[in-house]
Amino acid sequence: MVSRRTIALSMVALGGVTVAASGHAADPMKAIYVGGWDCPPCTAWKNKYKAGWVASPEYARITWIEVDAPKLKEAYQERYWPGDLKSVLDQLPRKSGTPRFLLVKNGKVVANEFGGGQWSKFLDELRKQLG
């Protein structure tokens, strides 16, 4: 039996929403990446940071969700934010811009960073929230 199991569920029919949950599913903390397939800054973030992020100890402690729409201009359309993600979308004051990194704790957005250059700021807040 694997001590740390990561489950990835791709919902291609929903436009590329991907959910990865660690063995700590009881933790209410979620990190949400918002991007678009045609977004050059999103591709740059993925190429530079995503592999390190997925291998990090923080990744194993939260639920990672990707809202990755086929077109970046569609990233904030409700159809790409199924189920409980709709309440997160409703909390965003600005529904544009990718890549965006959201940290959700107990259903509330506690960090909202826009742009690949804000990744380190987002990680700092995530670490602070994890304690």
Find the angle CA(96)-CA(112)-CA(66) to the nearest 5 degrees: 70
**How far apart, in whole angstroms, are the C-alpha atoms of residue 88 and residue 46?**
22
Helix intervals (H) in the chain: 40-45, 51-54, 85-91, 119-130
> pTM of the entire structure?
0.81
Domain at 23-130: CATH code? 3.40.30.10
Question: Is the pLDDT score of 21 beyond 60?
Answer: no
Nearest-10 Cα torsion for 44, 48, 53, 54: 80
* Conformational region of residue 106, where left means phi above 0, alpha means psi within -120 to 50, and beta covers everything else: left
The pLDDT value recorded for residue 22 is: 45
Question: Is the pLDDT score of 18 beyond 70?
Answer: no
- Enumerate the domain spans of the chain: 23-130
Calculate what percentage of the chain has a pLDDT beyond 70. Answer: 79
CA 130 → CA 3, 34, 96, 109, 124, distances in Å? Answer: 21, 21, 27, 14, 10
The pLDDT value recorded for residue 16 is: 56
